[in-house]
Chains A and B, each alone.
Chain A
Amino acid sequence: MVQLTKFKLPKLSHRRFINFLMLARIEGYLLVILAIFMLLPCFVSMLYETESSVPFLIAVGITAGAGLGMCFLKPKNKDMGRREAILLTGLTWVVLSLFGMLPFILYGTHMSVTDAFFETMSAFTTTGVSILSTLDGVPKSILLWRCLMQWFGGLGILLFTLAVVPMLNSAGGLLLFNAEVTGITHDKLRPRVSNTAKGLWGMYIALTALLIILLSFSRMDFFDAICYGLSTMSTGGFATTDQGIVEFASNYVKVVLTIFMFLGGINFVLLFHALQGNVRNLFRNSVFKLYCWLVVFGYVALAIDSVMQGLYHNAEDLTVNPLFQCVSVISTTGISTPGFKSGGPLAIMVLFLFMSMGACSGSTSGGAKIDRFLVMIKFLKNEFYKIMHPSAVTTVILNGKGTTPGMIYKTLAFLIMYVLVVVISGAIVSLTGIPLGEAVFRSLESISNSGICDVPGGLSGSYAHLPALGKWVYAFVMLTGRLEIFTVLLVFTPGFWHR
């Protein structure tokens, strides 16, 4: 019998500490993709704008040049371990922000580096806060670029790369997938990671296209429809004018946006199966059910609030508006309706809760994710029960499956870190003279990637007047929140760099 097998053992001695060449090469691919995305607003600026679009082209050129240069690096071996995957994930978001901010610096708005980096990070992480105090006079190409970056970051930059770069269809690619996709467990669509990425991105593109088409039937012009389509599907929430959604505030637009924001908050793997016809699984999913109930709860609370505050003028204020507002907050999109600013304490409570919670894991939304809260609530319930019945054996059941203690520890550790990051970053920013309450609130806004400017109670406004330190801290917090804390913070622990 001949032994027919191709299994080869990894060569132990050949393993480098960190395969930097390989990391650089993948960054190269990413920059090329970014440059291709950048071409789109560049065309807009060439076609519609009076300002010379040469600086914009230069930005594209720098990005493409750097990317192509790195693409041609030839790493000796192509394997990537967990260390590389984690480093690469964090690095990618920073590097892409560094190149993505070039149009802001060179063209139209001519921001400082701090402002541009903050704005870019806010876009990529789908936070949607802005340092621009007014959008009047901001060129359309820049507006489009902001929304495009949100859309790109919404489902995941690396996930997109996994779909288009065949080289990453390997164990290394899978580690990237795990490091970027949100949630306690990382559901896959198909066995090969590139097929999973293709499926998810395919659905994302299709949904966005559908949203843009639906929006273009309204009073919006096509450009606004595209921008709102991109920023809503990614649950980012960048606007195109100072008035925001008010300008187009027909009920039709609000309902369409509400539906798609809601979809953006569902676990995409679940949504994919549901769109394939497996709707029953969707309603069996306990996280999705809780998500629905929370939306209902938020809607009722906001409707009551608007009555109590005397904001009730017409039927809209009790039906569409509270629902829109509630979904906008829980999906961490952060588009607000006009009446919201003057909301009362009940509105603030809902806002605060929903913002920190976010929607389902594996979606484009931010926050700590409903999944984790569900695990925590069930775990706490068990703990209370055990005080009365010490010998009771309890498990936390999520979606019909038991969880391991390891998973619960991970969830609790995450939630603790979440609070710690908010408190510590808020404290640091308050050193610059910002009131502590506002600083902490903005931290929460950044880590949950919600970005709701002009909230009730006047807690938060534009970020334009923040000191530079505050902007850098918040940019960092946004990234920490988007990559679910550990991926980013791990790089700063000494253990990570120990050989």
Chain B
Amino acid sequence: MKIIIAGAGEVGRHLAKMLSKENQDVTLIDQDQTRLDVIDATYNLMTWNGNTYSFSSLKDVGVSDTDLFIAVTPFETNNITSCAIAKSLGASKTVARIDNSEFLIARNGTILRDLGVDYLIYPENVAANEIAISLNHNWARYWGELHDGKLLLIGVKLHDQNLPILNCKIKDLPVTTHDFHIAAIKRRNETIIPNGDTEILPDDIVYFITTPPFIQEVRELCGKTKRVIKKVLIMGGSRIARRFCSLYQDKFHIKIIDKDMDKCERLATNFPNCEVVFGDGRDIEVLRENNIFQYDAFLAMTESSETNILACMTAKEFDVRKTVADVENLQFVSLAENLNIGTTINKKLLASGHIFKILLDTDQTNSRFLALADADVAEIQAHEGSKITKAPVRNLKLPYGMTLAGLIRGDEVRLIDGNTRIMPDDYVVLFTLQGTLEKIEKWFS
């Protein structure tokens, strides 16, 4: 697929790298040559130094036969203009990054569609929603909803040493396993696709796949209690923090600490329901003064990933139950996960994941994917006459290293067990280790 990305900022560059690794034809445009130099010399893609919203430069770069045009410069008006021009020059689908929620409202959407913008991404909005989800389901490390929440993927870290499911093999679990599957286990840096003989050990992150009625069962199994989060302390009034406040200022009791007086004043004007404090969130005295130990959650949202990680560790010392850190440096994400600081948020990953989804929607040939550390989660359609539909699952000699998790048949979503027979045209959600997917796809075609 031919993809043009306008704007080589953090999101643009990350997208370009990711899509280039996906073997797409990627061209990255930016006005600033220095931003392009490094990526041009090291990644398998083309760069173009030019204006992202000028007819001539978009024409030169070949926008007329582009399948997907993505405008992700920091300025939404430029992005919308770029998309409108690209569309008029012949791009099939366009995506614009915005930072104004007004465009997301359905009745305002048509005006952009008329201009030629097909999809919108609002990374800060996605991140704010992600934070809210992790606060609502604060007992889980990872909370993923597939198919509008009909199928849930829940990752839980097992801290409690006395859980009944610990130190026993999956086939000997003291509970019935019809209502959930253990899809994957993450042990330190290794991801395991379990079979019946795999043991669950303390400190594993176990990924359950289940349906909404059985959430409570899974939670109790992991020895977690439900805690309602009410009071949230935010450090740093960044764009994500501001978006979070505007979305949830009524739902949570929010206090924001920022070290910039002007910013504080603006925050106080824009979000009258939030408390705003002028001070440095890295300073323990400031945190103590603001009664950090009374808060249910601490969100570290400054521009600096390092500060956020360390601040969350400090907050954990104060016994704050839930901490969320904005970690923009990709290399730090996995490090941060090992540091017991709860959830990490990465705007780039969220935005690129969003665009990846758009890509999959436009490109039907691809299996749908999401990645979980070293494991791939794929959604594959079973074709008429494929091997997987020949017999109930227990009678198929399926290869190791894969878990068949759930099944989507029409509107119905259910878990797969040994007696399930997969029918043609069903979508199957499965877990595999990286790199084995090609082998598995043969079963479905």
Proximity bits, B27-41, A CB within 8 Å = 1, else 0: 100000110000001
Q: Flag if A4 contacts B44 (CB, 8 Å).
A: no
Q: Flag if B370 contacts A5 (CB, 8 Å).
A: yes
CA distance A192 to B21 in the complex (A): 10
Q: Flag if B17 contacts A7 (CB, 8 Å).
A: yes
Proximity bits, A1-19, B CB within 8 Å = 1, else 0: 1111111110010000000
Q: Flag if B129 contacts A5 (CB, 8 Å).
A: no
Contact of B34 among A12, A178, A190, A404 (CB under 8 A): A404
Nearest residue, chain B, Cβ from A11? B189
Q: Flag if B45 contacts A191 (CB, 8 Å).
A: yes
CA distance A190 to B153 in the complex (A): 40
Contact of A169 among B44, B144, B354 (CB under 8 A): B44
Q: Is A261 an interface residue (CB 8 A)?
A: no
- B24-64 interface (Cβ within 8 A of A): 24-27, 33-34, 41-46, 49
For A2, A12, A175, which residue has the most chain B Cβ atoms within 10 angstroms? A2
Proximity bits, A151-170, B CB within 8 Å = 1, else 0: 00000000000000000011
Q: Is A358 an interface residue (CB 8 A)?
A: no
Q: Is B284 an interface residue (CB 8 A)?
A: no
Q: Is B363 an interface residue (CB 8 A)?
A: no
Q: Flag if A404 contacts B349 (CB, 8 Å).
A: no
Q: Flag if A6 contacts B44 (CB, 8 Å).
A: no
Q: Flag if A9 contacts B44 (CB, 8 Å).
A: no
The interface residues of chain A lying within 8 Å CB-to-CB of B26 are: 191
Contact of A4 among B2, B34, B42, B370 (CB under 8 A): B370
Q: Flag if B23 contacts A192 (CB, 8 Å).
A: yes
The interface residues of chain B lying within 8 Å CB-to-CB of A175 are: 41-42
Q: Flag if A191 contacts B27 (CB, 8 Å).
A: yes
Q: Is A184 an interface residue (CB 8 A)?
A: no
The interface residues of chain B lying within 8 Å CB-to-CB of A346 are: none
Q: Is A401 an interface residue (CB 8 A)?
A: yes
Q: Is A229 an interface residue (CB 8 A)?
A: no
Q: Is B271 an interface residue (CB 8 A)?
A: no
Q: Is A322 an interface residue (CB 8 A)?
A: no
Q: Flag if B45 contacts A9 (CB, 8 Å).
A: no
Q: Flag if A169 contacts B129 (CB, 8 Å).
A: no
Q: Flag if A7 contacts B23 (CB, 8 Å).
A: no
Q: Flag if B46 contacts A178 (CB, 8 Å).
A: no
CA distance A226 to B431 in the complex (A): 57
CA distance A175 to B146 in the complex (A): 39
Q: Given A174-B42, A404-B34, decide whether A4 and B25 contact each other with a Cβ distance below 8 A.
A: no
The interface residues of chain A lying within 8 Å CB-to-CB of B126 are: 1
Q: Is A488 an interface residue (CB 8 A)?
A: no
Proximity bits, A262-300, B CB within 8 Å = 1, else 0: 000000000000000000000000000000000000000
CA distance A188 to B146 in the complex (A): 40
Q: Is A173 an interface residue (CB 8 A)?
A: yes
Q: Is B290 an interface residue (CB 8 A)?
A: no
Q: Flag if B356 contacts A4 (CB, 8 Å).
A: yes
A78: shortest Cβ distance to chain B, in Å? 12
Q: Is A419 an interface residue (CB 8 A)?
A: no
Nearest residue, chain B, Cβ from A170? B44
Q: Flag if B18 contacts A5 (CB, 8 Å).
A: yes
Nearest residue, chain B, Cβ from A194? B44
The interface residues of chain B lying within 8 Å CB-to-CB of A12 are: 331
For A5, A9, A195, which residue has the most chain B Cβ atoms within 10 angstroms? A5
Majority secondary structure, A binding face: loop
The interface residues of chain B lying within 8 Å CB-to-CB of A192 are: 23, 25, 44-45
Nearest residue, chain A, Cβ from B16? A191
- A396-435 interface (Cβ within 8 A of B): 401, 404
B187: shortest Cβ distance to chain A, in Å? 17
- A1-41 interface (Cβ within 8 A of B): 1-9, 12
The interface residues of chain A lying within 8 Å CB-to-CB of B370 are: 2-5
Q: Flag if B357 contacts A4 (CB, 8 Å).
A: yes
A295: shortest Cβ distance to chain B, in Å? 28
Q: Flag if B21 contacts A191 (CB, 8 Å).
A: no
CA distance A188 to B42 in the complex (A): 13
Q: Flag if B349 contacts A195 (CB, 8 Å).
A: no
Q: Is B223 an interface residue (CB 8 A)?
A: no
Q: Flag if B371 contacts A171 (CB, 8 Å).
A: no
The interface residues of chain B lying within 8 Å CB-to-CB of A3 are: 130, 144, 349-350, 353, 370
Q: Flag if B22 contacts A6 (CB, 8 Å).
A: yes
Q: Is A447 an interface residue (CB 8 A)?
A: no
Q: Using C-beta atoms within 8 Å of the partner chain, give the interface range for chain A.
A: 20 to 34
Q: Flag if A1 contacts B129 (CB, 8 Å).
A: yes
CA distance A425 to B145 in the complex (A): 68
Q: Flag if B353 contacts A4 (CB, 8 Å).
A: yes
The interface residues of chain B lying within 8 Å CB-to-CB of A195 are: 25
CA distance A38 to B44 in the complex (A): 31
For A1, A3, A192, which residue has the most chain B Cβ atoms within 10 angstroms? A3
Q: Is A193 an interface residue (CB 8 A)?
A: yes
Q: Is B221 an interface residue (CB 8 A)?
A: no
Q: Is B432 an interface residue (CB 8 A)?
A: no
CA distance A195 to B34 in the complex (A): 25
CA distance A174 to B38 in the complex (A): 12
Nearest residue, chain B, Cβ from A278? B60
The interface residues of chain B lying within 8 Å CB-to-CB of A178 are: 41
Proximity bits, B368-391, A CB within 8 Å = 1, else 0: 111100001000000000000000
CA distance A170 to B44 in the complex (A): 6
Contact of B371 among A6, A170, A188, A404 (CB under 8 A): A6
Q: Flag if A174 contacts B18 (CB, 8 Å).
A: no
The interface residues of chain A lying within 8 Å CB-to-CB of B25 are: 190-192, 195
The interface residues of chain B lying within 8 Å CB-to-CB of A4 are: 353-354, 356-357, 360, 368-370
Q: Given A174-B44, A191-B26, A192-B23, decide whether A5 and B349 contact each other with a Cβ distance below 8 A.
A: yes
CA distance A191 to B349 in the complex (A): 23
Nearest residue, chain A, Cβ from B351? A5
CA distance A82 to B353 in the complex (A): 29
Proximity bits, B118-149, A CB within 8 Å = 1, else 0: 00000000100110010000000000111000
Contact of B49 among A5, A190, A191, A401 (CB under 8 A): A401
Q: Flag if B46 contacts A1 (CB, 8 Å).
A: no
Contact of A5 among B34, B130, B133, B352 (CB under 8 A): B352
The interface residues of chain A lying within 8 Å CB-to-CB of B161 are: none
The interface residues of chain A lying within 8 Å CB-to-CB of B331 are: 9, 12
Q: Flag if B369 contacts A7 (CB, 8 Å).
A: no
Q: Flag if B43 contacts A5 (CB, 8 Å).
A: no
The interface residues of chain B lying within 8 Å CB-to-CB of A8 are: 371, 434
CA distance A8 to B434 in the complex (A): 10
Q: Is B340 an interface residue (CB 8 A)?
A: no
CA distance A297 to B434 in the complex (A): 62
The interface residues of chain A lying within 8 Å CB-to-CB of B18 are: 5-7
For B22, B27, B49, B353, which residue has the most chain A Cβ atoms within 10 angstroms? B353
Contact of B130 among A1, A170, A401, A404 (CB under 8 A): A1
Q: Flag if B23 contacts A1 (CB, 8 Å).
A: no
Q: Flag if A6 contacts B356 (CB, 8 Å).
A: yes
Q: Is B100 an interface residue (CB 8 A)?
A: no
The interface residues of chain A lying within 8 Å CB-to-CB of B333 are: 9
The interface residues of chain A lying within 8 Å CB-to-CB of B130 are: 1, 3
Q: Is B291 an interface residue (CB 8 A)?
A: no
CA distance A8 to B369 in the complex (A): 13
Where the two chains meet, the residues of B that have a C-beta atom closer than 8 Å to any C-beta of A are: 2, 14, 17-18, 20-27, 33-34, 41-46, 49, 126, 129-130, 133, 144-146, 153, 330-331, 333-334, 349-350, 352-354, 356-357, 360, 368-371, 376, 434
Q: A3-B130, A8-B434, A171-B21 are in contact. List 4 more A-B contacts (CB 8 A).
A: A3-B349, A9-B333, A174-B44, A191-B24
- Could you give 26 example pairs across A and B, Cβ below 8 Å? A1-B126, A1-B133, A2-B153, A3-B130, A3-B370, A4-B360, A4-B370, A5-B353, A5-B356, A6-B376, A7-B17, A7-B21, A7-B371, A9-B333, A171-B20, A171-B21, A174-B41, A174-B44, A175-B41, A175-B42, A178-B41, A191-B20, A191-B24, A191-B44, A191-B46, A192-B45
The 4 A-B pairs with the shortest beta carbon distances in the complex, nearest first, are A5-B353, A191-B46, A2-B144, A191-B25
Where the two chains meet, the residues of A that have a C-beta atom closer than 8 Å to any C-beta of B are: 1-9, 12, 82, 169-171, 173-175, 178, 188, 190-193, 195, 401, 404
